[in-house]
Structure 1
Amino acid sequence: MMHLAMYDTSVSMGTGTPYLARVSPIPNYSYDRDMNLDVAAYDVLRAVFPTQSDYFTTRFNAARQADPPLGEPGPEGWSRSIGETAARNIINARANDGSANNAGYTASNTAGQWRPTGSGAAVGPNWGNVKPFALTSGSQFRPSLPGGFSTVSAMLSSSAYAAQVNDVKRLGSATAPKTDRNDDQTQLAFFWANDVSGTYKPPGQLFEHTQIVASQRATDTPRLFALVAMAMADASIAAWDAKFNTSIDLWRPETAIAEPQDDGNSATMPNSAWRPLSVDRNGVRFSPPFPAYVSGHATFAGAWAGVMKRYYGTDAISFAATTEDPNAAGVTRSFSSFSAAATENARSRVYLGVHYQWDADAGLTTGDAVANRVFSTYLR
């Protein structure tokens, strides 16, 4: 919402196709572009996060200390009405979009189906029904069920399922030896995690990587950030649709591996002591509190890389990436392409012990489909 309001502000003062509408200036007023961009962001943020209004006000005032004075109509008058109107447009457009639906989720004890793992109740079970920004629905690019199986029983009894479970069982264990998961794989698992409170979470990390690339390539950012924001917002809706709105709400690896319940597959051996590498600030091992399929990280990564390579006209752009995860403090990782970063991001979830590889693969494919829809249809 914030980046689309800023984008519509930008094109109203320049060129391009708006997301919602071009805002007409008030006659005889002058308009400072940066001031109106900040106003658009400020107004949206206060509307979406009203309890943090004072924080945003402090930051806004600090940023705008050098503004030209707001005056009466005339040659010396300045207005921020374009930013205000663009913000109001997106706030009104997103009213009743389904994002406030906090209805609960009834977990299942059926083998293969997700249930809480100790990290809390299901988060966002209705998010797949939120009105998208660019997609026709959250299910527009819904992937097939895990492994392409039509039922949970067919999945559980398959050799493909056993291979998925045993892969993460070996590579994603908290106690995996270096002969199974080497130091670099452990580092990249935490580098991409950003699951714990106090980090910018996966979309925030990808926004920072967008900023890194945009800065080194002198990019005019409102359109790029709006495209990335749209794609990742719709990626979240598409991922949560796949997690909660299908017949398989896939259980996390720690449940599949540690529970004594028989999955009916002789190729998987339960281990009640198994825990994932993933760990919070208190040293507690955990899995995120929602189904495994598809991976949200992978879907965000696929959407991000899909926009970036289409925007710049090439995938082969090198950059140094950063993280806020406390278990990878100060770590940077370098990539020669957007796709390479996205692929590593997706695979990291297996090393962290919280996803299967098919969660990652389906997430990347879904995210790229979302990116293609966003880039080819909007903000031209």
Structure 2
Amino acid sequence: MRKQIRRALLGALATVLVPTGLAVTARPAQAAPVGDHVIFWNNVLLKTYRTAGGAPGPLARSGAMVHNAMFNAVNTINCHKTGTYDDFNCLAIDYTGFNPITNWANPDVETAIDYAAYTVLTSLYPNIGFSGDLAAAQDGIAVDAAQQQGRSVGAKAGQNMISNRDPLADQSGLTTAYTLVNEPGYWRPTGSGNAVTPNWGKVTPFSRYGEAYKSSFRPTPPGGYATMSSLLASGAYATQVNVVKSLGRATGSSRTADQTQAAWFWANDLDGTYKLPGQHFAHTQVVSAGRGLDQMANLRLFALVSAAMADAAVVASDANYQTPIDLWRPESAIQLAGTDNNAATTADATWKPLSADRNGVGFSPASPSWVSGHATVGSAWAETMKRYFGTDEITFTGGTDDPHAVGVTRTFTTLSAAAMENARSRIYLGVHYSWDVTQGYTAGTKVGTYVSNKLLQKVIGGGTYPTASECETKGDDFVYGNLIYSGYYCRGDSPTSWRLIFYPWM
């Protein structure tokens, strides 16, 4: 069936309740062969994750680039819905750069979404073909002036994102090798390879212009011990080791059957799966469908969720590599317990974690244990979802890609319950200590809160501030109804124009 092409510009489609973070469900999208184009490209992204593999940080960054480029493409159209640019009509500030539209032709929204996603994906994954996906997404859309202008807007939004996230500019391209410290307590390879993405904690986050905020989310040292020697000698450390030694071992563990299932359900560490960010994207789709969200609502939801996960991966990596405690994995701690100067730990040279590859060979992920990336990313996802929907009380049934849990589904009655089980599963899997997951969970929750409040900032006040150089200059607070907004000056409609924008006060 050919799609009836929308020409109305979404003003009524995407009313966002900024004070609460809730999105009002918009009019249903017109019928199309692929249905919701945001969901379509999210599925393409999951397929790409399975094909490309790699570490969670880069995959999460890719997801945030794709989804925020799609959002920015539609945002550009909304900004111009009167035919000329008016930032008070924008859905949010586009931090990637100005995207003007001339000779207004009511750009096709779905085409803009398609070309934004396609442009970013082809840049990030040049060895994977996306032409077939683009053709499927565009099937039934007439090639006319509106389609051509939608294509131009989408491609420009994608290019703006690519330029803004240039690997040299956002530091995702750093290649400095990890320096091993050959002393007890410090991370060392366990047979699963050298340290992965050791510089990822330096990557520029999506949710703020400055870099200083990352350290504000950095967890306190495990157990409060700032040096490795004091940490290893502590009773808290011995307790942590002995808990995972019992719960996380491959054979003879104290795990329940349900804990074992949860461990595998949330693992998704292996290439060929949709990995950590992909599982949360898949679960976002489930929740979205259950709540009846349309394309416009999904546009904002997935932009926020993707950015929260990307920024949480940066925060987790910062703790992994940019702090004095590059803590060894439980596998090393238990096998080498005779070297830790702690009488309450006992070495077991044969101990292996439940975590295993497709051949059943046990392994620990190739990065320091403190903090857990799964816990950090998962709690950032949950907090963002909670703030978007305005409630934690959402029941959903999710699936997994892990080959050790084929066909397994698990049902959760709250978003936070899913995130907490995801975090705890890393102990059952034998690859993290309890403090890795609790402190990672706390850090991720902070990231989710921050992203929800400050990423897609909406202009609701005007003004100019010609001397500001970044989005951190304090303006006046603004009272709207019974809510207080904090005003900051941020980039407006050109490199030399600045607008006073407001977001809910924290």
What TM-score does the superposition give when structure 2 sets the normalisation length? 0.72
Residue 322 of structure 1 is aligned with which of 399, 408, 417? 399
Letter in 2 for 1:66: G
Letter in 1 for 2:333: A
Equivalent-residue separation in structure 2 for 1:239 and 1:293 (angstroms): 8
Alpha carbons of 1:314 and 1:27: their partners in 2 closer, same or farther (altered >3 Å)? same
Post-superposition shift, 1:24?
A: 3.6
Equivalent-residue separation in structure 2 for 1:277 and 1:376 (angstroms): 38
- Residue 85 (structure 2) pairs with residue 9 (structure 1): no
Residue pair 1:146, 1:293 contacting (<8 A) in 2 also: yes
Equivalent-residue separation in structure 2 for 1:77 and 1:297 (angstroms): 41
Letter in 2 for 1:176: G
Q: Residues 326-341 of structure 1 correspond to what in structure 2 (within 5 A)?
A: 326-341=403-418
Equivalent-residue separation in structure 1 for 2:147 and 2:408 (angstroms): 50
Residue pair 1:11, 1:22 contacting (<8 A) in 2 also: no
Give the aligned partner of residue 134 of structure 1: 207
Give the aligned partner of residue 146 of structure 1: 222
Alpha carbons of 1:263 and 1:85: their partners in 2 closer, same or farther (altered >3 Å)? same
Q: Residues 186-197 of structure 1 correspond to what in structure 2 (within 5 A)?
A: 186-197=260-271
Residue pair 1:36, 1:80 contacting (<8 A) in 2 also: yes
- Residue 157 (structure 2) pairs with residue 86 (structure 1): yes
Letter in 2 for 1:172: G
Residue 127 of structure 2 is aligned with which of 24, 39, 51? 51
How many equivalent residue pairs? 373
Residue 364 of structure 1 is aligned with which of 441, 455, 459? 441
Give the aligned partner of residue 243 of structure 1: 320
Equivalent-residue separation in structure 2 for 1:339 and 1:176 (angstroms): 30
Letter in 2 for 1:171: L
Equivalent-residue separation in structure 1 for 2:268 and 2:159 (angstroms): 32
Give the aligned partner of residue 187 of structure 2: 114
Alpha carbons of 1:112 and 1:317: their partners in 2 closer, same or farther (altered >3 Å)? same
Alpha carbons of 1:91 and 1:189: their partners in 2 closer, same or farther (altered >3 Å)? same
Residue pair 2:312, 2:380 contacting (<8 A) in 1 also: yes
Give the aligned partner of residue 266 of structure 1: 343
Unaligned residue ranges in structure 2 (runs of 5+)? 1-64, 79-89, 458-506
Alpha carbons of 1:244 and 1:68: their partners in 2 closer, same or farther (altered >3 Å)? same
Q: Residues 1-380 of structure 1 correspond to what in structure 2 (within 5 A)?
A: 1-14=65-78, 15-20=90-95, 23-52=99-128, 55-71=129-145, 79-95=150-166, 96=168, 97-135=170-208, 136-137=210-211, 138-177=214-253, 180-219=254-293, 220-259=297-336, 261-380=338-457
Post-superposition shift, 1:57?
A: 1.3
Letter in 1 for 2:317: W
Q: Deviations along 1:60-93, whole A, 9 cap, x unmatched?
A: 112212121144xxx8965412111211111111
Post-superposition shift, 1:341?
A: 0.4
Equivalent-residue separation in structure 1 for 2:344 and 2:194 (angstroms): 30
Q: Deviations along 1:207-255, whole A, 9 cap, x unmatched?
A: 1111111111122201110101111111111100000001110000000
Residue pair 2:337, 2:345 contacting (<8 A) in 1 also: no
Query: 1:13 is paired with a residue of what secondary structure?
Result: helix
Residue pair 2:329, 2:431 contacting (<8 A) in 1 also: yes
Query: 2:397 is paired with a residue of what secondary structure?
Result: strand
Residue pair 1:350, 1:357 contacting (<8 A) in 2 also: yes
Alpha carbons of 1:38 and 1:164: their partners in 2 closer, same or farther (altered >3 Å)? same
Equivalent-residue separation in structure 2 for 1:361 and 1:101 (angstroms): 29
Equivalent-residue separation in structure 2 for 1:79 and 1:258 (angstroms): 59
Unaligned residue ranges in structure 1 (runs of 5+)? none
Over the aligned positions, Cα root-mean-square deviation in angstroms equals 1.5
Post-superposition shift, 1:19?
A: 3.2
What TM-score does the superposition give when structure 1 sets the normalisation length? 0.95
Residue pair 1:168, 1:253 contacting (<8 A) in 2 also: yes
